[in-house]
Structure 1
Amino acid sequence: MDLKLKDKVIIVTGGSKGIGLGIVQTLVKEQAIPFIVSRNKASVLEVVNNYKKEGIELHYAIAELTDNEQCKAAVDAVINTYGRIDGLVNNAGVNDGVGLEHGNYEDFIKSLKRNLVHYYLMAHYALPELKKSRGAIVNIGSKTSVTGQGGTSAYAASNGGRNALTREWALELLPYRIRVNAVIVAECYTPLYDSWIKTFDDPKAQLEKITSKIPLENRMTTAEEIADTVAFLLSEKSSHTTGQLIFVDGGYTHLDRAL
């Protein structure tokens, strides 16, 4: 299917690793122009240099997304480079384990900034260009907003906020024909997930325990599967879809995991 994303300029936060990198790779395949925004310069340069070897030039901005001014500067960098913005994928974030019993005010607020506030900031600063292009926004979210997880209050609250902002923005931006949707992830094997699994005494057994509860094929969702859905939601092929929370999770969230 031709998604007609050729030459569309799409911001991808956290686009140098995990799900974000999967999204960048899919956008390149669709001949779109992903613009990576990340604080991790080493991983960004690795991605950029690998594509350069293939004759593909990617641009990027190094930004600490918890900082308002750096978010604005990143969006300005996109505009200065390409003169437009056709889409925004809010993806960056981390399940940082700030819980209720063992958490504290400072860490809770810091986590909200790491996982939610920059979703607002990036959309706010990109909005003037998105209005011109009638672009689309896709927010990446987590099952924790629906299922909970335990010991991760701030991350769960942030993802609840991402869901709410998706619906709120879809409504607010109707006059500009800007579509806003969210892709909700459950179990996807990323470098961060790998780091978390390795904290268990028997990582292999823990991984098997988790995948056994994923109804469809008892396996992890791949970054590519998430990325394909993101690309569809960015494209005109989903031209009448807005305000939706799309669960790409092998049925984990809503199907009976006791099956």
Structure 2
Amino acid sequence: MASSAPALLGGSLKGKVALITGASSGIGAEMARHFASLGCRLALTGRNMETLQEVTNECIRRGLDKNKILMIQADFELEADVKRTAEETIQKFNQIDVLVNNAGVLTAGSVETVSLESFDKIFAVNVRAPLQLTQLLAPQLIKTKGTVVNVSSVVGKVSMPDFLIYSMSKTALDHMTRSIAEELAPHGVRVNAVNPGAIVTPIIKRSFGMTDEETAQFFEKMKRNHAMRRTGTVDEVSRTIAFMASNDSSFTTGETVGIDGGCHLLVTKVPI
């Protein structure tokens, strides 16, 4: 008699090749660790090789052989680095099954204060690089009937003061997700996005030069923007991404999946 025990969520990813961009910290680092525990072969990108090596060591401790991990130092403002990332991944593994476009940058600013230089940088990393990488790897993804998961944000769905350009970039990424999903669906390639709310990661502290205390105060205030009265964690995001990348979501494409504790629902902030 066959076992009635459910299969491991994301278990179909075992042995697959996943490219995770921006894997040296935050959501990307947790994705690398989680995908390693599922038995994926990994190509990991980051600007800081020291922290990327730390993540790689953690993946090895999760049971993934070091020969199944490729580290790529890349700055996704540069088209040449994006192109090299695609080339080195295929050269190492000769295939790709999962592309996770996670690398991103964040700056604050309103219509009165934002600079065009910030616009160019944010759109280069958050929009142009995912488009370029998906375009370069599309032939390989078609061969494997692979999946693409774009890491967007709740601010791609709702407006937030002082995050004008960042919000615009994530809205563009969401629409790109839908458009490419329709184009690649006949080839068996699925393309989805996830839209996290406030997730406790280093990007806020790093982007705004905050102290530890200021960062903690920021995330405490952000709880009021979420119907669930709390912020999210990187593992909550990584598990959802694994679901979207695996056969567990085999009939889902073109979706933008919220992981935001109900942030998108609120018109007014909630009392804490």
Contact kept in structure 1, 2:224 and 2:270, CA below 8 Å: no
Q: Aligned equivalents of 1:158 and 1:110: distance in 2?
A: 10
Partner of 2:156: 145
Partner of 1:41: 49
Partner of 1:87: 98
Contact kept in structure 2, 1:16 and 1:43, CA below 8 Å: yes
Q: Aligned equivalents of 2:212 and 2:37: distance in 1?
A: 36
Contact kept in structure 2, 1:98 and 1:107, CA below 8 Å: no
Q: Aligned equivalents of 2:160 and 2:130: distance in 1?
A: 22
Contact kept in structure 2, 1:197 and 1:203, CA below 8 Å: no
Q: Aligned equivalents of 1:66 and 1:213: distance in 2?
A: 31
SS at match of 1:88: strand
Partner of 2:195: 184
Q: Structure 1 vs Structure 2: percent identity of aligned residues?
A: 28
- Post-superposition Cα deviations, 1:217-258, rounded to whole Å, max 9, x if no partner, equal x22211111000100111111110001010011111125653
**TM norm structure 1:** 0.92
Residue type of the alignment partner of 2:111: L
Q: Tell me if 1:164 matches 2:172.
A: no
Cα gap change, 1:194/1:64 in structure 2, threshold over 3 Å: closer, same or farther? Answer: closer
What does 1:189-208 align with in structure 2 at a 5 Å threshold? 189-195=200-206, 196=208, 198=210, 203-208=215-220
Contact kept in structure 2, 1:98 and 1:108, CA below 8 Å: no
Q: Tell me if 1:17 matches 2:25.
A: yes
**TM norm structure 2:** 0.88
Residue type of the alignment partner of 1:35: A
Cα gap change, 1:183/1:176 in structure 2, threshold over 3 Å: closer, same or farther? Answer: same
Residue segments in structure 2 that go unaligned for 5+ positions in a row: 1-6
Contact kept in structure 2, 1:143 and 1:186, CA below 8 Å: yes
- Range 223-232 or range 188-197, more displaced: 188-197
Q: Tell me if 1:60 matches 2:71.
A: yes
SS at match of 1:173: helix
- Range 1-10 or range 238-247, more displaced: 1-10
Residue type of the alignment partner of 1:207: F
Contact kept in structure 2, 1:200 and 1:206, CA below 8 Å: no
Q: By how many angstroms is 1:198 displaced?
A: 3.2
Q: By how many angstroms is 1:99 displaced?
A: 3.4
SS at match of 2:13: coil
Contact kept in structure 1, 2:33 and 2:55, CA below 8 Å: no
- Range 75-84 or range 207-216, more displaced: 207-216
SS at match of 1:97: coil
Q: By how many angstroms is 1:210 displaced?
A: 1.7
SS at match of 1:70: helix
Contact kept in structure 1, 2:156 and 2:195, CA below 8 Å: no
- Range 35-44 or range 188-197, more displaced: 188-197
Residue segments in structure 1 that go unaligned for 5+ positions in a row: none
* Count of residues paired in the alignment: 258
Residue type of the alignment partner of 2:194: V
- Post-superposition Cα deviations, 1:158-191, rounded to whole Å, max 9, x if no partner, equal 1011100010011011111100110001110001
